[in-house]
């Protein structure tokens, strides 16, 4: 990303909306916004192999592995406004497991792009399935969308829930039900 060009565009945007980019409070805003966009869209340059960084381990585990309540922050591709919430990831190992932090890192890698929640949920599930050859994967996301809260219908308490289930999570109702029951439990930690 050319941060200097993005800063120039933000400066032009400030003028177009009726602001004075030379007033004290806005002097460094174009550069700050460009730096923020570099971070918020860093997922475009994320490499899944680099994110996983070899943290795939042989394991005899063939049970369900779940990480709940991973914070997610992304930006809606339709309005370029944030959406944020929780991501719950589960998979059934098939001889290999991922280092636990890699699940959150994978989610972040895909979230740091302009997204729609439906695609984000599926991309995370597919990446985990591909990384470890899991028997099954389930991802559920619950997010609030500022494009719906700050503008448009202005519904403050709305939460969008999406799920993507692959393999045994898709094919076996009991496996899917176990996953859903476990992610819905109150945290005991």
Q: Does 162 map to a domain?
A: yes
Same domain, 66 and 134: yes
Determine contact, residues 12/21, Cβ cutoff 8 Å.
no
Q: Does 21 map to a domain?
A: yes
Q: Does 189 map to a domain?
A: no
Which DSSP letter does residue 187 get?
A: P
Q: What is the pLDDT of residue 41?
A: 97
Q: What is the pLDDT of residue 61?
A: 83
Q: Does 176 map to a domain?
A: yes
- pTM of this structure: 0.93
Q: Does 143 map to a domain?
A: yes
Determine contact, residues 92/168, Cβ cutoff 8 Å.
yes
Q: Does 137 map to a domain?
A: yes
Same domain, 34 and 63: no
User: For all residues of the chain together, what is the average pLDDT?
Assistant: 95
In the chain, how many domains are there?
2
Q: Which domain holds residue 159?
A: 48-184
Measured CA to CA, the distance from residue 152 to residue 134 in angstroms comes to 40
Q: Which 3 state secondary structure label does DSSP give 54?
A: coil
Q: What is the pLDDT of residue 185?
A: 79
Q: Are strands 136-145 and 114-115 parallel, antiparallel or unpaired?
A: unpaired
Q: What is the pLDDT of residue 186?
A: 63
Indicate which CATH number applies to the domain containing 19.
1.10.286.10
Measured CA to CA, the distance from residue 70 to residue 42 in angstroms comes to 18
Same domain, 31 and 56: no
Q: What is the pLDDT of residue 188?
A: 47
The token duo for 151 is: 């503008």
Which residue positions in the chain have pLDDT lower than 50? 187-189
Measured CA to CA, the distance from residue 30 to residue 3 in angstroms comes to 9
Same domain, 133 and 52: yes
Indicate which CATH number applies to the domain containing 65.
3.30.1130.10
Measured CA to CA, the distance from residue 20 to residue 15 in angstroms comes to 6
Same domain, 26 and 77: no
Q: What is the pLDDT of residue 189?
A: 39
Q: Which residue, chain included where needed, has tokens 């439906």?
A: 118
Same domain, 32 and 59: no
Q: What is the pLDDT of residue 17?
A: 98
């Amino acid at each position: 990303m050319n941060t200097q060009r993005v800063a120039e565009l933000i400066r032009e945007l400030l003028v177009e909306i009726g602001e004075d980019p030379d007033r004290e409070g806005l002097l460094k805003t174009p550069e700050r916004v460009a730096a923020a966009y570099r971070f918020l869209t860093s997922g475009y340059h994320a490499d899944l192999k680099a994110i996983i960084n070899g943290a795939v381990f042989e394991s005899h585990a063939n049970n369900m592995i779940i990480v709940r309540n991973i914070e997610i922050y992304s930006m809606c591709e339709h309005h370029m406004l944030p959406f944020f919430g929780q991501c719950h990831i589960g998979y059934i190992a098939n001889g290999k497991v991922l280092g636990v932090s890699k699940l959150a890192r994978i989610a972040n890698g895909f979230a740091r792009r302009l997204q729609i929640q439906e695609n984000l949920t599926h991309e995370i599930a597919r990446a985990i399935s591909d990384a470890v050859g899991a028997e099954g994967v389930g991802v559920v996301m619950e997010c609030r969308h500022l494009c719906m809260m700050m503008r448009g219908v202005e519904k403050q308490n709305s939460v969008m829930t999406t799920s993507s289930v692959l393999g045994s999570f898709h094919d076996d109702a009991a496996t899917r039900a176990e996953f859903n029951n476990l992610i819905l439990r109150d945290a005991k930690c």
